[in-house]
Structure formats: C-alpha cells, structure tokens
Amino acid sequence: MSDRLKRFGNDPYPVNALGAGESWRMFSILAEFVKAFTAMSEAGPCVSIFGSARSDPESPECRMAEELARLLARNGFGVISGGGDGVMAAANKGATEAGGLSIGLNIELPHEQLPNPYANLQLDFHYFFIRKVVFVKYSQAYVILPGGFGTLDELFEALTLIQTQRIRPFPAFLMGSDYWGGLVGWMRERMLGSEYITPDDLDTFTVMDKPEDVVKAIKKTIVLR
C-alpha cells in the first residue's frame, strides 16, 4: 500500500496496514455531523454568503459583503460564511456589528484559512463534504460574490442539487455583474447553446449588484416566522 493511501492529508483516522482506519473514520464523520447539526439546530433562517478568502478588506466585494450582511441581520436573517478571511470575514463582520447571528463554517486547510474573529458562532470542519451539507441544510438563500475555485464549487453544487431536485429550490444570487457577466454569457452561449442545460436552468440564479436589491428579493421569497 502506498504512503498516499496510508494517510490522506490530516485525516484523524489514517488507514493502517490492515485498513482498520477506514472503519474508525466513520465515527469521525458521524461525530462531525452531530456536532454541526446540534450547533445549528437553533439558527433560524440564514443566508449564506460566499466569496474569495483572498480579497482585500477594502475591496469592492468585501464592502459589498459587509453591507449585505448588515442589511440581512437587520431584517432578521442569520448570516453564514466559510469562516475565513476576505469576503467571508466581511460578511461575518457586517452581521455581527448589526447585532445578528454571524456563523463561520471554517475548514482546516494546509496553507490558508484561519477562523476570522467576527463570527459569533464558529464551527470547525475537517471534511469538506460535511461543511457543504451544513451550508445547504441551513441556508434559505445563497449569495455568491467574486471568488475562485471554492466559490465556484459552492455555486455549481447548489445549482446542480436544485436542477436535479435533490434539494428544495432556494434563491441564488451572483453579486457583481462585471465579474460574473462573462461566465453567465458563456453558460448561455456554450452550455445552453449546446443543449447541455435548459433555459429554466438559467433561472435558478439571478445577477444583481446592489445589496438592498438582494435583500428585497430574498424577503419576497422567504417568510420569517
């Protein structure tokens, strides 16, 4: 058995020569699910905000995320971010300063992502897939700001789950038409043009530029109790 198979990353239950670690890993996965579900059980209606961890705090996307989170908190929504720096920290900061629930779902990574200091509920994850389940399970809407592979991963996973009816549809917003315009145009020209998606699939998200417009659209869809 290769060294790579014996140990994957920082897995708390590496596979030993007899393969016993595979069985024990299931307990680690179960424990992480239980911890997350327990912590989030009283969260109430929340909106997830995604974007780059590398964005400067003074960048347009960070200022946009902070204002959006502030407005969401003032309107009774909790805010969920990936718990790291950049856009994630801006979102947590805006929600916390507005007196709202500010949740950070932090992931352990080898070279980056330390928890930001603004979330008033911080959860740490070892497994990416568990973190993704929590994002989907406890979000009533997704807002996607400029970002890289991780941001796109969260966007397309949500759109795929909605498309395949594996989850209930919820509103998804791409904020920043200058950033997302090229991607949306490519999806329309290449994906729709090749009939790999349908026109209805492009209706699963909306491109917007103003935080107040996003909040208004979310409030039309979600009724707070």
Which CATH number characterizes residue 169's domain? 3.40.50.450
pLDDT-above-90 percentage for the chain: 80
Give the pLDDT confidence of 167-210 residue by residue, as tens digits.
888 999 999 999 999 999 999 999 999 999 999 999 999 999 99
- Tokens standing for 112? 């980056």
State the total domains in the chain. Answer: 2
- Tokens standing for 216? 């208004």
Q: Does one domain contain both 132 and 182?
A: yes
pLDDT-above-70 percentage for the chain: 88
Q: Does one domain contain both 74 and 171?
A: yes
pLDDT value of residue 114 = 78
| 128-137 vs 20-40: helix crossing angle, rounded to 10 | 30
Domain limits at 94? 44-221
Q: Does one domain contain both 86 and 182?
A: yes
Q: Does one domain contain both 89 and 141?
A: yes
Q: Does one domain contain both 51 and 63?
A: yes
Strand order in the sheet with 121-125: 121-125, 102-107, 78-81, 46-50, 141-144, 172-175, 206-208
Q: Does one domain contain both 105 and 63?
A: yes
CA distances for 28 relative to 20, 25, 63, 83, 207, angstroms: 13, 5, 37, 21, 39
The segments of the chain whose pLDDT lies below 50 read 1-9, 17-18, 225
pLDDT value of residue 48 = 98
Q: Does one domain contain both 10 and 54?
A: no
Q: Does one domain contain both 173 and 71?
A: yes
Q: Does one domain contain both 150 and 190?
A: yes
Q: Does one domain contain both 215 and 146?
A: yes
pLDDT value of residue 9 = 46
Average pLDDT value over all residues in the chain: 89
- Pinpoint the alpha helices (H) of the chain: 3-6, 20-40, 60-74, 87-97, 128-137, 149-163, 177-186, 211-221
Give the global pTM. Answer: 0.87
CA distances for 115 relative to 20, 161, 171, 178, 197, angstroms: 32, 28, 27, 29, 37
Of residues 65, 66, 50, the one with CA closest to residue 147 = 50
**Which helix (H) or strand (E) covers residue 144, if one does?**
strand 141-144
Q: Does one domain contain both 202 and 116?
A: yes
pLDDT value of residue 113 = 61
